[in-house]
Structure 1
Amino acid sequence: MINSLDMINKKTEWFRHDRFGMFIHWGIYSIPGKGEWYRSHQKVSIEDYQPYFDAFNPTQYNPKEWAKLAKAAGMKYMVLTAKHHDGFCLFDSKYTDYKVTNTPIGRDLVAEYVDAVRSEGLKVGLYFSLIDWHHKDYPKYKDLNHPMRDNEDYKDEEIDFENYLDYMHHQVEEIVTNYGQIDILWFDYSYEEMVGEKWRATELIKMVRKHQPNVIIDNRLETSGEGFGSIVTDAINLYSGDFVSPEQIVPHEGIRNYKGEFIPWELCITMNNNWAYNPNDHLYKPAKVLIRKLIECVSKNGNMILNVGPDALGNIPQDSIAILDTFATWMNQHQEAIYGCGYADLVKPEWGYYTRNNNTIYAHIFEQPIGPIYLPGLKETDIKRMSFLHDAGEVKISKSWNTNAFKDLCFAQYGDVDHFTYPLPNDIASVIKIELVGDISGD
């Protein structure tokens, strides 16, 4: 088996077309409501964490509603934490008792999620942690993250890490064989010496590809949100993954390899400052900011996956739903400028971003213009027609007197009088569809 950028690009065609997805961080850590890293941050023992397992009973869990919210918001795929670092499984694994079917809810919630996502016509993704703080053979003392990393009782503990790897591989095989077609497998994550073949990564990926030849995989068998991995080099490993996964930061120029070629990538981002449910975190990013970040990602040939953290009953918080509703309104009118679009190969405009789909440029305007709108990288002779995307209303090439001093530049205008200033039709991002005469490229 070999790996190459051509193979990666072919496999990720649908992913790079769809551009926008929903991440869901959910598990027994939703009960204390202090984030999915609660055990690590507070150095909580297995015994002190056990009451959350015993109490997990999300009677209002309705993945069909989650999927409907995602679809309405314009999301095309969903990724659920089948197992996070605490080792708790939302699926019915035969290799552990630490699973959802042994909690009061008593059901395989991954199976219900997969069915719900497919029923809405969305792509199915599952997150699986390479790390497991519950397994007896996972490294503890002096590990970077383990809750017992500073506990002297574990200083001389002997573990069988190969036994842990067998267990982890078996559970991944369950994920990729028990639920039909899996479109995205989102591993998390590598650190320090726990990287690559430490996970028996070649063996793992060969097994996954045997069962799921079309699944796309993130890059975190090699790295974390801090790095790119071999996918950007001239020696792409079999386990490099198919896309880079920057976390909580938009790469300033997208992500390219050593030749300057774009690599598939996806920004993973939270709505507030937590991935999992935290009822005390009300620092939600405005929907306007998040929509503009989606636009920015697409303009740089990237995707965005936006997280929700349902509560312990299975409900997505109302603040998150309000953000998704705003996405739904904007995407309903402007999705053409997102799906199938990417880097425009033009100078970045000061008023926002360009996205592009073949011979159509989409000007996403964030900033209220004063008079005509300068279109950097475009000439009047390049343009066949311009219109607002939300209503097909006319936008013209400006012939205003106040552009005469800039003879070599191209300006757009809308409204009744060419040199007047008119409010933008959308406060988040107004989109002008610019249909080109033929193919062009910028500087």
Structure 2
Amino acid sequence: MGKGDTRWFVHDRFGMFIHWGLYSLPARHEWVRHAERIPNEAYEIYFEMFNPDLFDPKAWAKAAREAGMKYFVITTKHHEGFCLWDTKYTDYKVTNTPVGRDLLREIVDAFRGEGLKVGFYYSLLDWHHPDFTIDRIHPLRDLPPEEIAKLNSTRDMKRYAQYMRDQVTELLTNYGKVEIIWFDFSYPGENGKGRDDWESEKLYELVHRLQPGIIVDNRLDLPGSGDIETPEQFTPDKGMVDAQGNPVVWEGCQTFSGSWGYFRDEMSWKIPRMCIEMLINHVSRGGNLLMNVGPTSRGYIDRRALDRLAAYGEWMKYNSRSIYGCGTAPAEFPAPADCRYTWNPETKRLYLHCLVWPFKHVHLENLAGKVKYAQLLADGSEIRIREEKTDNLNSHTPQGALTLELPTLLPGQGCEVPVIELVLK
């Protein structure tokens, strides 16, 4: 597999994705150019109007840190082609908009200031660039075939591939240490684009020459190059493995709503508890969670996203021990119904996350004689354990199992999803 150093990554487990660009002005999905077949000339109004007067990257970074996030990945350029930094290779950049500043620099400085590691998203697609050929998902895909052929006759993907390498060189040279680069995305096949179009081998080697140890995602259409698998908008039902059945490093990228960019009218927002459960499900299956926010065109994170970040923060304040440094529990310990285990191999502690709070007791298979102490993680209160059978017909402890005797009610803080910490002998 790849060359990236993922040790910190699998410890930290939780990051913030940020999708922010000109698409925040129409505010109806970051793929609005694709969906509405918008040509460059019609999209230009958003470039002329981009002026995030309420932009406060320190507030973004503070919200991420308080949510328990340890790293971030920001869209330096999305498929629309707009660049969030002062690149030398195009005029289609933030310093030529009314805001007139390198906002990427300010974002990086703010998040580093809060102790988060830095990740850059860079789109392989570019619907604005004059050398990017019109293909099956381009905004101009519905033009007459002869017109597409005429336009493509003047476009050169080799020049575009060089443009990408030049820009990636800037990103990985001018902003200090970058821990992650997230390329997005390949769609090989008929009238698509893949490794030959991106010149992925050259791009991959450039990245590792400029930033040794950087984590690269798996979307270059270059088998064996990805350090992480990146399931999107779904949660794998078990840990991910390679062709040989060995566990791989993976990171699910998810949204609070159905859109990555700011979408004013989007109504399918996940409730806070579902967001917490997504984090638990990812870590219990050996993965990271990269949860997205889409700031508004004025430069702030809207209240719906802030509410969910705050819910993460409230839960993580009391339960982060069950996330950081944790992963899939040993197979010998199957989780009870409606529960998820995470496991910290360094501290030898097993964490039982109860998605539904059991009444009075829960039986844990194969743990008899193996637990030194159990406590409710939220407040550190003891949970009594029992291993022998009793005369109580309603709570026989199965052979080889450990029974936890539970309170009927839970304390308030940190119990949106209650966690029991099991200290193994």
Q: TM-score w.r.t. structure 1 length?
A: 0.89
SS at match of 1:312: coil
* Residue 348 of structure 1: how far off its partner (Å): 3.1
Indicate which of 17, 35, 43 corresponds to 1:41. 35
User: Partners of 1:121 and 1:386 in 2: how far apart?
Assistant: 32
SS at match of 1:403: coil
Q: Which residue of 2 aligns with 1:440?
A: none
* Residue 405 of structure 1: how far off its partner (Å): 6.4
Q: 2:170 matched to 1:174?
A: yes
User: Partners of 1:370 and 1:115 in 2: how far apart?
Assistant: 48
Q: Which residue of 2 aligns with 1:418?
A: none
Q: 2:399 matched to 1:403?
A: no
SS at match of 1:291: helix
Deviates more, 1:349-358 or 1:81-90: 349-358
Q: 2:356 matched to 1:356?
A: no
User: Partners of 1:139 and 1:121 in 2: how far apart?
Assistant: 40
* Residue 369 of structure 1: how far off its partner (Å): 0.8
Q: Please show how residues 208-357 of structure 1 align to structure 2 within 5 Å.
A: 208-222=207-221, 230=223, 236=224, 240-345=225-330, 346-357=333-344
Q: 2:412 matched to 1:412?
A: no
Q: Which residue of 1 aligns with 2:137?
A: 145
SS at match of 2:83: coil
Q: 2:388 matched to 1:389?
A: no
User: Partners of 2:207 and 2:28 in 1: how far apart?
Assistant: 33
User: Partners of 2:207 and 2:303 in 1: how far apart?
Assistant: 37
Label 1:209 to 1:407 Cα distance change in 2 as closer, same or farther (>3 A): closer
* Residue 211 of structure 1: how far off its partner (Å): 0.9
User: Partners of 1:162 and 1:192 in 2: how far apart?
Assistant: 16
* Residue 388 of structure 1: how far off its partner (Å): 1.0
Contact 2:277/2:417 (<8 A) preserved: yes
Label 1:381 to 1:279 Cα distance change in 2 as closer, same or farther (>3 A): same
What is the identity, as a one-letter code, of the residue corresponding to 1:366?
Answer: L
Contact 1:394/1:414 (<8 A) preserved: no
SS at match of 1:177: coil
Contact 1:352/1:366 (<8 A) preserved: yes
Deviations 1:121-166 (A, max 9, x none): 10011110000000111111xx121000111222333021111111
Label 1:331 to 1:405 Cα distance change in 2 as closer, same or farther (>3 A): closer
* Residue 168 of structure 1: how far off its partner (Å): 1.2
Structure 1 gaps of 5+ residues are: 223-228, 231-235, 416-420, 438-443
SS at match of 1:433: strand
Contact 2:359/2:406 (<8 A) preserved: no
What is the identity, as a one-letter code, of the residue corresponding to 2:379?
Answer: D
Q: Which residue of 1 aligns with 2:44?
A: 50
Contact 1:368/1:424 (<8 A) preserved: no
Q: Which residue of 2 aligns with 1:102?
A: 96
* Residue 261 of structure 1: how far off its partner (Å): 1.5
* Residue 176 of structure 1: how far off its partner (Å): 0.6
SS at match of 1:303: strand
Label 1:405 to 1:256 Cα distance change in 2 as closer, same or farther (>3 A): closer
What is the identity, as a one-letter code, of the residue corresponding to 1:363?
Answer: L
* Residue 408 of structure 1: how far off its partner (Å): 3.6
Q: TM-score w.r.t. structure 2 length?
A: 0.93
SS at match of 1:221: coil
Deviations 1:289-330 (A, max 9, x none): 011110010011100011111100001010100111111100
* Residue 342 of structure 1: how far off its partner (Å): 0.2
What is the identity, as a one-letter code, of the residue corresponding to 1:267?
Answer: G
SS at match of 2:238: coil
Deviations 1:230-258 (A, max 9, x none): 3xxxxx2xxx2210110011111121112
What is the identity, as a one-letter code, of the residue corresponding to 1:111?
Answer: R
Indicate which of 330, 338, 354 corresponds to 1:365. 354
What is the identity, as a one-letter code, of the residue corresponding to 2:369?
Answer: T
Contact 1:424/1:430 (<8 A) preserved: no
* Residue 374 of structure 1: how far off its partner (Å): 1.4
Label 1:405 to 1:255 Cα distance change in 2 as closer, same or farther (>3 A): closer
* Residue 205 of structure 1: how far off its partner (Å): 1.2
Q: 2:199 matched to 1:200?
A: yes
User: Partners of 1:45 and 1:271 in 2: how far apart?
Assistant: 29
Q: 2:110 matched to 1:121?
A: no
Label 1:405 to 1:211 Cα distance change in 2 as closer, same or farther (>3 A): closer
Q: Please show how residues 129-140 of structure 1 align to structure 2 within 5 Å.
A: 129-140=123-134
* Residue 424 of structure 1: how far off its partner (Å): 7.1
SS at match of 1:68: helix
Label 1:68 to 1:406 Cα distance change in 2 as closer, same or farther (>3 A): same
Deviations 1:33-86 (A, max 9, x none): 011101011000100000100000001111111000000000000111000001
* Residue 282 of structure 1: how far off its partner (Å): 2.6
User: Partners of 1:215 and 1:250 in 2: how far apart?
Assistant: 25
Identity fraction in percent: 42
* Residue 370 of structure 1: how far off its partner (Å): 2.2
Contact 1:181/1:212 (<8 A) preserved: yes
Deviations 1:171-196 (A, max 9, x none): 11111111111111111000024222
Instruction: Count residues in correspondence.
Output: 409
User: Partners of 1:218 and 1:209 in 2: how far apart?
Assistant: 13
Indicate which of 375, 399, 404 corresponds to 2:364. 375
SS at match of 1:432: strand
SS at match of 2:172: helix
Indicate which of 11, 36, 45 corresponds to 1:17. 11
Contact 2:186/2:219 (<8 A) preserved: yes
